Each structure stands twice: as C-alpha cells, then as structure tokens.
Amino acid sequence: MGRAQSRPAGNLTKRQQVVFDFIKGYIETHGVSPSYEEIRRNFGFGSYNSVQKHLKQLVAKGFLKTPWDNQKRALTLVEPGPSTTILPLLGRVAAGRPIEAIANPDTVEVPEMLLRGEDNFALRVVGDSMVDEGIRDGDIVIVKRQRDAENGQTVVALIGDDATIKQYYRRGTRVELRPANPRLSAIVVEEGDLQVQGIVVGLIRKFHR
C-alpha cells in the first residue's frame, strides 16, 4: 500500500512547524493573520526576507495561502483534505489475462477511507455487467486482495485467463457469478475452475464531459 498524501506535521522542518503553529494560533485567537512585523519580532528574525522565506516554504508545502494582491493580514490556513494512498492500477477488470501477470502497472490516488486492510489494488471496469450495483464502464474499483468470498459479495475472479467482476454465490461444488444487469446471464463454474482475486470495497467514478 502506498504512502498517505495528507498534510502531517512531519512534512515540515521543526522551524517551519513552529512558525506555522504561531500563525495558526494567532488566526484562531484574533481572526486575522499576524503581520510580517509581528512574525519577525516573535521569532527574532533580522529582516522581512526571513519572514518571506518561511512563508513561501509553508505555501509551497500546502499549509498556507497568500493573497494575490499582497493584502495585509490576509494569510489563510489550508484545510487538510482526506488522507490518500497510491494504489497500483493493475489494468482492466475484463482484460482477458491474469491480473497478477500485468507488468508495470499504473497507479491511482485513492482516499484511505475506501481501503480495507493493507493489501488493496485498483482495476478499471470495462462493460456494464454490474450497472445495477452502481458500477459503470470506466469506473475504478478498489479491491481487497483475498482468495475467498461470502455469498453476495462483489468479487474480482479469474476463470481461466479471463478476469470478471460479479456477485459471488456458492452452490455446493459450483460457484455462480451473478451480474447486476438483467440483460446478462449468470456464469456457473466448478469451484476449482475459479480463482477469487479479491472483493470490491470501494469505487471511484470517472466523469467525462
């Protein structure tokens, strides 16, 4: 699993963190940002250049915004967004070959809240077999890698060399892979002829104009 891309304090040096904490505390107390002079005096900087240097670093790292017109006391805090993780985008869910065999996968940034456990990957959906479950052509599904599934779970499975995304139902020694599209028929295979690659735990919709 990839590294989180949120704005933890560890992204700053100790000095930058102290400057940021001062500005943040000042804004929370006074409702406006401190002036350059107040920042300079608080930290004993010898010139405004030192103040500007620290502010530029905080802006570059995504912690502050500065006004485009150099308005005084107009520094604003950047609210942190949700933590994200970089996942391998292993190809298309109906790519016609084993998922693990896809070399040099692309990557995709996904919210950590979509993940389940440590071993997750992403696939791009091809086709409309799961449209009634809200999974559309072109969407990216987040998959928790595991080799078994419970009835009713949406799985990514291999049948021979073909990858498919369907709802999983065990029927004795057979498995029924059920689409969520009334125009399509279920696939029924012997349990030994199917390999569950993982269960779908999240979805990212790609909008197109």
Which residues does the annotation mark as catalytic?
A: 129, 166
3-state secondary structure of 62: coil
Helix, strand, or coil (residue 146): coil
Question: Taking the alpha carbons of 18, 21, 25, 26 in that order, is the dihedral positive or negative?
Answer: positive
* β-bridge mates for residue 89, sequence order: 106, 122
- Distance, in Å, from the CA atom of 30 to the CA atom of 196, rounded to the nearest integer, reads 57
Cα 55 to Cα 180: distance, rounded to the nearest angstrom: 53
Instruction: Give the closest residue to 84 by CA, choosing from 100, 61, 64, 107.
Output: 107
Rounded to whole angstroms, the Cα distance separating 8 from 81 reads: 11
Using alpha carbons, select from 200, 116, 197 the residue that is nearest to residue 163: 197
Q: Which helix (H) or strand (E) holds 27?
A: helix 14-30
Question: Between the CA of residue 106 and those of 4, 109, 124, 200, what are the distances in Å?
Answer: 17, 11, 11, 19
